[in-house]
Structure 1
Amino acid sequence: MRFGKKRKLAPRYIGPFEILEKVGAVGYRLALPPSLSEVHNIFHVMMLRKYHSDPLHVLQFEPLELKTYMSFEETPVQILDPRVKQLRNKNITLVKVLWQYHGLEKM
């Protein structure tokens, strides 16, 4: 599950959060902030990373906008490149769209 931005190089981990208890053989219950109350608070050990404390490391927590059904709506901003692809018997219209939360990539 990716939090926040949706991109290839988006950060995969948020936190750190305190581990409250071990649940079963490979599950851990975390103390999540109220803004993440919609997220289940038990995570598999493979989804967690060890935090190495560093006094110079200042954590900046960005509040996330999560809806109740755990998704967000993307809206198109601009049509970048409309094309018509010709096959043998028919034409297919292709449209390259700039979405709201995605940047403009170099072609």
Structure 2
Amino acid sequence: MDPYEALYGRKFRSPIHWDDVSERTEIEPDIIEQTAEAIKRIRDRMKTAQSRQKSYADSHRPDLNFEVGDHVFLKVAPMKGVMRFG
């Protein structure tokens, strides 16, 4: 069972099949082409946003180089919300 079906109790209907079940007709090529172009635009915009976020994060993250024998302090935080042994 799909997560969508488990959550909403019905199958997921893609934008291609949003018409009523009784009105099901052949899918026109222009609808498929428009959907493919929209998906391509969305993917391009997501790549742009991801690249922008990566460059911002990389500019605020220093490059660290360690040699063998260097002493390093690590910050260790306890797990939040985990109760062990009751």
Same fold (TM over 0.5): no
**Higher RCO structure (Cα 8 Å, ≥6 apart):** 1
Q: Which has the higher helix share?
A: 2
More strand by share: 1
Which of structures 1 and 2 has the bigger CA Rg? Answer: 2
Give the TM-score normalised by structure 2.
Answer: 0.24
